[in-house]
Amino acid sequence: MYVLDANVFISAHRGYYDFDLAPSFWQSLITHAGQSNLCSIDKIQDEIISPNPQNADKLHIWTAENFKNYFERTDSQDVIESYAEIQRWAHSNSQFTDSAKDDFARNADAWLIAYAKSKNYTLVTHEAYNPEMRRRILIPVVCRQFNVNYVNTFEMLRSLQVSF
């Protein structure tokens, strides 16, 4: 099972798999989510779907109409405990700037990692592993620290045997 980062949706929409260029990409997400091969989390949904419908873009509309049922809740005890553990590690780590720690506490990344960790899912992100980064806490760095598997979109698509 794969759990998707917001950048999987956003990068595809803004670039290589925009809705008019690659509708089969978007259909494959729906198909595989329906087969319980992939999902995302409520915190990612909050990043994609604007609370103000007047600000809705194509991604907001597609997500609200097609993917809304595949955002899993993060309020279970196992996820909350993993989230707390990840935040303790991040905030006690002297490598990262205070700004990076604050940003990590505010965004969905730690929740995404905690969800993948607690469910033993593979996290899908476009972020690259960079253990030297100080000004941002990168998902792959945290995943390696907590033994959470992660891949990029292309690796997920190949594993699911998606072709266009």
The pLDDT of residue 52 is 73
The pLDDT of residue 113 is 98
Mean pLDDT, the chain, rounded, equals: 94
The pLDDT of residue 13 is 93
**Element of type H or E holding 46:** helix 42-48
CA dihedral 123, 72, 102, 149 (to 10 degrees): -10
pLDDT tens readout for residues 46-75: 999 877 767 778 999 999 999 999 999 999
Structure tokens at 118: 């607690």
Spatial separation of the C-alpha atoms in residues 162 and 154, rounded to whole Å: 9
3, 139 in Cβ contact below 8 A?
no
Q: Taking residues 119-146, report their average pLDDT.
A: 96
pLDDT above 90: percentage of residues in the chain: 90
Extents of the domains making up the chain: 2-72, 77-151
The pLDDT of residue 49 is 84
Q: Taking residues 97-125, report their average pLDDT.
A: 97
